[in-house]
Amino acid sequence: MLSKKCKYAIHALVYLAERYDQGPIQIEEIAKKQHIPHKFLEAILLELRHADILESKKGKGGGYFLVKKPTEVNLMQVMRLIDGPIALLPCVSLNFYGRCEECKSEKICGIRDSLALVRDETLRVLEQSTLAKILKREKQLAQK
């Protein structure tokens, strides 16, 4: 399951995507509208800034804004950044590879294939899920 932190991150990003090119948005505004604890959100946005997804401006009139286009940010990136590996085993992770200690030999493990397949399918869907698409869907759903 996604961590709360990751859900918060996604909601904040969608919020910023909706206000793309409208200048900096303050943490406090996002926190209130999305019901996220201010200080926690602060840490999350900082992480997204360090990953070059957001940029910030200090002082009065400051805040956060997307530095990438909403079509260029997807759930795969965000989830990897906040929650780490997408794969269900370290030994099939592309970005966080590690041996499974309990496996004698990786070459003989019959589980890996299945979980590598799960990983591929998951990545395919998450990579398609851009902020732009999520936003579009939300607007469609809101209209009904």
Q: Using CB under 8 A as the criterion, which residues of the chain lie in contact with a copy of itself when the complex forms?
A: 1-2, 4, 7-8, 10-11, 14, 34-36, 75, 84-85, 87-90, 100, 102, 104, 107-111, 113-114, 117-118, 121-122, 124-126, 128-129, 133-138, 141-142
Residues 6 and 44: beta-carbon distance below 8 Å: no
Name which of 50 and 137 has its Cβ closer to DNA. Answer: 50
Name which of 59 and 110 has its Cβ closer to DNA. Answer: 59
- Single-letter amino acid code for the residue at 6: C
Q: Which stretch binds DNA (CB under 7 A): 10-18, 35-43, 71-79, 88-96?
A: 35-43
Quick one: three-class SS letters along 15-57?
HHHHCCCCCCECHHHHHHHHCCCHHHHHHHHHHHHHCCCEEEE
CB of 66 to a copy of itself, least distance (A): 16
25 has which bridge partners? 64
Spatial CB neighbours of 18, under 8 Å, sequence gap ≥ 6: 135
Which of residues 52, 61, 107, 110 is near DNA by CB under 7 A?
61
- CA-nearest of 46, 129, 122, 54 to 85 is 122
Which spans of this chain sit near DNA (rule: CB under 7 A)? Answer: 3-5, 8, 24-28, 37-40, 42-43, 45-46, 49, 56-64, 83
